[in-house]
Amino acid sequence: MKIEFYGAAGCVTGSCHLLKVKDKNILLDCGMYQGKDERERGNETFNFNPKDIDYVILSHAHTDHSARIPLLYKQGFKGDVICTEGTLDLCNVMLADSGHILESEAEWKNRKRLRQGLPPIEPLYTAKIAQVTMYLFKGYPYDQWIELFDGFKVRFRDAGHLLGSAIIEMLIEEDKKQTKLVYTGDLGNKDIPILKDPTIIDYADYVLMETTYGDRLHTNLSSELEDLAKIIKDTLRRGGNVIIPSFAVGRTQEVLYTLNKYVEENVLKGVSVYVDSPLASESTAIFSKYRKYYDEEATKLLASGDDPLSFKGLTFTKSAEESVNLNKLQGGAIIISASGMCEAGRIKHHLKHNLWRKESSIVFVGYQAEGTLGRSISEGAKKVKIFGEEIAVNAKIHTLHGLSGHADRNGLLGWLEAFKAKPEKVLLVHGDTSAMSSFNELLISKGYSTFVAKSGDTFDTEVIPQKFSLTRNKILSLINSIEDLDSMDKNLLLDQINNAIKDI
């Protein structure tokens, strides 16, 4: 088994890892680079031949994990895309929306190129290509083993990051030896609204693990939600608007859940909330379809007759005209709009009309990749360019890390330490250099063997010494017998396992 790293290795966006098993080529995610990563690496080409790919196993629907699948298809991929049923439904709207944005951007650039006497460019892909690509998708429920081919099984476990997001377990049989590879995708933050906490995995030989917040701790979620209510009250009292750049899928629904609570409890009275994103509207409907995946609190709300994603004063805008009319509001509005990193979509118009106003507030509720407009604003830029115009940043800027959909440093470590024994190797991806380095140092201090992946690196399990492999098999056989033991014997056995690992 070999793993080649081509995206989200030494950076956060563009997740794409090529797994080679027997004669099959399997992509783990196929995401789009964003911000600085896009400018440095580009999205136009792949470091492999798309025609050679047999499967894509998709962890979740977010753009940085899924949005180059239509380009993969356009360049010759005709295999299956394996994902959860929730991810399939979300991709059905998200990828078409991505294609539409790419077409619009190409059209805008071509108008400028035409005036400059330059030939036109074509978009990476169109909405129509994205729609056709969906015929390759096959959706499955959580916790079901799926045999893709002889000697390779896959199972999706709830990652708690986004509706349908998955930790991917893979059982691989080669040369009469079974290996278990676990790919985290994006691990969710504990206790975030709507979603369950990430599933705990019993064991793995190798873990391919994200490190987005490997060097940071989130602030307390409940106190930050109280801060959000205070920010809204203060802004409306000043006569300004509250602008919330939010990922249309996932974060928007979590913000609505929070606002619903405050409206129902009369903490926020008579507020006008606008979700200005057609994609967010469609995604919210999909969230309502998959209520079986809600956590205990959200399930209780539904049982009581309260729809946690709907409340008095909430409006979903649809047309471009409705969106433009929001820019005429001088105050009293809460506008939630995509994209979450402010790189495209309607949010840029709302920033253009509100950033310069000291009465207004901009509230960031998600990760801002390096080189994005959102990162510049959140880090204190005094002026930014939007649609070629220089805009002063006079509005109050707030960043709420507690609402993050990613586990922080402690969350990542806690999930890994819940394994019944340490994996042979933890392969670190999906983090900027400082986050990966910091989390790597932490894992080494805890006795883990690690591999920090860079773009173009290859990890080959064939280089693992035979002695190590035999010892691992002995350990796994011990683990499999744990469930039949009482508490005292179980602790003794775990001590034996830890000693065996140290011998390695």
**Could you give the C-alpha distances from 280 to 247, 284, 295, in angstroms and in order?**
8, 6, 21
Whole-structure pTM value: 0.83
Percent of the chain with pLDDT over 90: 64
Give the pLDDT of residue 466: 41
pLDDT at 497 exceeding the cut of 70: no
Distance CA 118, CA 112 (A): 9
Neighbour-count burial for 45-61, b at 16+ CB within 10 Å, e otherwise: ebeeebeebbbbbbbbb
- In one-letter notation, the amino acid at residue 73 is Y
Count of other CB atoms within 10 angstroms of residue 113: 14
pLDDT at 464 exceeding the cut of 60: no
Average pLDDT of span 345-356:
92
pLDDT at 476 exceeding the cut of 60: no
Phi–psi pair at 87, nearest 5 degrees: -65, -40
Q: What is the CA radius of gyration of the chain?
A: 23
User: Quick one: how far is CA 64 from the chain centroid?
Assistant: 7
Q: What 3-state class would DSSP assign to 57?
A: strand
Give the pLDDT of residue 489: 58
Question: From edge to edge, which strands make up the β-sheet containing 137-140?
Answer: 137-140, 80-84, 55-57, 24-28, 16-21, 2-7, 458-460
- Contact assessment for residue 19 and residue 1, using Cβ atoms and an 8 Å cutoff: yes
Q: What 3-state class would DSSP assign to 467?
A: helix
- Contact assessment for residue 129 and residue 135, using Cβ atoms and an 8 Å cutoff: no
DSSP states along 214-272: TT--PPPHHHHHHHHHHHHHHHHHHT--EEEE--TTTHHHHHHHHHHHHHHTTSS-S-E
* Stretch (H or E) spanning 112: helix 85-115
pLDDT at 355 exceeding the cut of 80: yes
Give the pLDDT of residue 212: 94
pLDDT at 486 exceeding the cut of 90: no
pLDDT at 470 exceeding the cut of 80: no
The tally of CA atoms less than 13 A away on the side-chain side of residue 467 is 4
Whether residue 360 is preceded by a cis peptide bond, meaning omega within 30 degrees of 0, is: no
DSSP state of 35: T
- Better-scored residue on pLDDT, 493 or 392: 392
Query: 457: closest CA among 437, 427, 431, 418?
Result: 427
Q: Angle, to 10 degrees, between the axis of helix 221-238 and the axis of helix 251-264?
A: 70
- Contact assessment for residue 177 and residue 472, using Cβ atoms and an 8 Å cutoff: no
- Better-scored residue on pLDDT, 334 or 481: 334
Give the pLDDT of residue 465: 45
Average pLDDT of span 19-24:
95
- Better-scored residue on pLDDT, 405 or 195: 195
| Residue owning tokens 């820019």 | 327
| Tens of pLDDT, residues 49-96 | 999 999 999 999 999 999 999 999 999 999 999 999 999 999 999 999
Phi–psi pair at 169, nearest 5 degrees: -100, 130
| Tens of pLDDT, residues 207-236 | 999 999 999 998 877 787 888 999 999 999
- Can you read off the two tokens belonging to residue 334? 């809460």
- Contact assessment for residue 363 and residue 231, using Cβ atoms and an 8 Å cutoff: yes
